[in-house]
Structure formats: C-alpha cells, structure tokens
Amino acid sequence: MKPDFLSTEPDDRTVSVLPAAVMRSPLVNARVDQVLSGFRNDADDESAGAIAFLNDRIVPVAQDGPQCGLVALKMAADILGVADVTVERIFQSAKASQFTNNGEMFSVEWMAKLAEEQFACSSQVLSPLPSQLDLCHLLKSPNTAILVPYDNDKNFEPTFLNGHAAHWSILVGFVAVSDAYADLKWLDETDTLPSADELPLKDVFLFAFHGKSKHPGLWQYDRLKRSNENLAEFGEQRANDGRTYILPPERLDGLRAKCLILRPK
C-alpha cells in the first residue's frame, strides 16, 4: 500500500522546501531526546551534549511498489538543487538502461549512472561507509546527497536479514553525541563542523528519509553500517512475489558495504 503523505496538519504539508520548524517537528525532537537520554550519566543529569544538523531541503516522497531507490534519487534532486525531476522520468530512464523492471535498483553503480544522466551531477561510490566524523562532514557539505542501502525492519529501521529486505535511504542529517557540548546545539547550513580534536565523539545517529515514511528516521551509525554490510542475499520471498527483477552480475554485492555520494558538477 502506498503510504499516505498528505495531511491537513500544518507540520505534515508537502511544500517545495520544508521550513526548519517543520523538519524539527515534535516527533523529531522526541527522537533526539530519546537518543540523548541514553547518554545521561545519572538521574541528576538533565541532558546529554550533542550537535545536530538536519537538511531542510527534502520533500518526502512516497514509493509506489519497489521504487525505494528511485524515490531516494528524487529526494536527492532536492539537495542537489535539480528541479523538474519526477520519479516516473527516473523510472523510464532506468528501464531504458535495463537497470530495472519494476523500480528496483540492486546496484549502487547503476544508481550512480542514473543520477549522472538525470541530474548532470558527479557521483562517487564509497565502500565501506565513511567514518562517523567523515559522514557528518559530508552531510554538512553544501548540495551533497548521500544514499545508503540497508535491510529494512518492520519499523523501517536498519536490521540484519542478509539482504532479504534491502531498501534505499537518503541521509539528511546527524546527531553527534560528544562531551564537548553540555547540551544540544542545532547547526544551520552556514555553521562549520568542529574538527576531530574539537569533537570527541561518543556516538553518531543519522537522520534518514526513505519511501515508506514521511518522517525522518534517526538511526545509530553503527547499526546502519552493519545493516549495509549484511546485504548478501536476494531472498526467497522477493524471488517468489510474482515479479521479475533485474540484478547485476554480482547480485546483492552490488549493494553490500557501499553508499553513493552525489554532488553538483
């Protein structure tokens, strides 16, 4: 079933650029508070220190069928500043290139080629995922989109099913927990991320959108990385669902331990 992304509630409206007040909704704030509560040393601590960033350019897009990769590319277009892109146009291009039958994308390299063709951007396939701090720096880089495949649990969070529930996400921000901060500090696009010496990390959590929810998830870096690295098998349920899928010669190794970085040329 296609997720319902339309609502009469002001915080849920879909607009060309979501204001920071919308992106930092009560749900987002609650998820951040829940993460930080796990780092409180004792009952007397009221908060844990962290810096956070959330890209406010993303318009959530619902997938219709196995289109998670194409939907992630459509959301990447928002970050890259590319207008007039539709999921249907991306799908037709992918189908013409024999990358997909139904919208599935089982190759990071194919996603890179598709993005370069559709967005006239540069692409970089990284393996494995960048380190915590490097990923935070990438997320703070202007007009930089980061797409990561992972195993999707029933609650949409990263899990470990050997690739049987492979799904695409786009990273849009982070919460970096650090003793260098006494409380939570939100960064905007003009703020500079501290260096490694200035930002000793306890942990990093990543904001991510995908085609099955209008709300950004907040996932632990290590869990997403391990989920990304466990993509090994196509899975019997998907193989027997009545659809014909296109896989690269390397099968799920086309996704495993890889991510895609997109930037304007």
Residue 202 covered by a domain: yes
pLDDT at 19: 40
Give the closest residue to 179 by CA, choosing from 36, 48, 47. Answer: 48
Give the global pTM: 0.88
3-state DSSP assignment of residue 251: helix
With a cut of 90, say whether residue 195 has pLDDT above it.
Answer: no
Establish if 161 belongs to a structural domain.
yes
- Output the pLDDT for position 25: 85
Residue pair 70/90 in contact by the 8 Å Cβ criterion: yes
The CA-atom distances, in angstroms, between 174 and each of 25, 139, 169, 171, 193 are 15, 8, 14, 8, 11
Rounded to a whole number, what is the distance in angstroms from the first to the last CA of the chain? 37
More confident position, 78 or 56: 78
Is the predicted pLDDT of residue 17 greater than 60, yes or no?
no
- Rounded Cα gap, residues 201 and 137, in angstroms: 13
For the chain, the average pLDDT equals 88
With beta carbons less than 8 A apart as the criterion, state whether 158 and 150 touch.
Answer: yes
Among residues 116, 113, 223, the alpha carbon closest in space to that of 169 is found at 223
Q: Is 7 within the bounds of a domain?
A: no
> What CATH code is carried by the domain that includes residue 221?
3.90.70.10
pLDDT band at 241 (very low <50, low <70, confident <90, very high): confident
Domain that holds residue 164: 17-264
Query: Within a domain: residue 234?
Result: yes
Q: Is the predicted pLDDT of residue 22 greater than 60, yes or no?
A: no
Return the ∠ at Cα 130 (arms to 37 and 87), rounded to 5°: 90
Q: 3 in a domain, yes or no?
A: no
pLDDT above 70 for 8: no
**Predicted local confidence at residue 120, as pLDDT:** 95
Residues annotated as catalytic (active site), given as ranges:
68
When pLDDT is averaged across residues 46-58 and rounded to a whole number, the result is 85
Please compute the mean of the pLDDT values over residues 84-107 and round it to a whole number: 96
Kindly report the length of the chain: 265
119 DSSP 8-state letter: H
Question: What whole-number distance in Å separates Cα of residue 108 and Cα of residue 124?
Answer: 10
Quick one: CA dihedral 23, 24, 26, 28, positive or negative?
Answer: positive
Looking at the domain assignment, is residue 227 inside a domain?
A: yes
113 falls within a domain: yes
Which pLDDT score is estimated for 7? 26
pLDDT band for 137, please (50, 70, 90 cuts): very high
Beta bridge partner(s), residue 149: 168
Asked if residue 207 is part of any domain, the answer here is: yes
Q: How many domains does the chain have?
A: 1
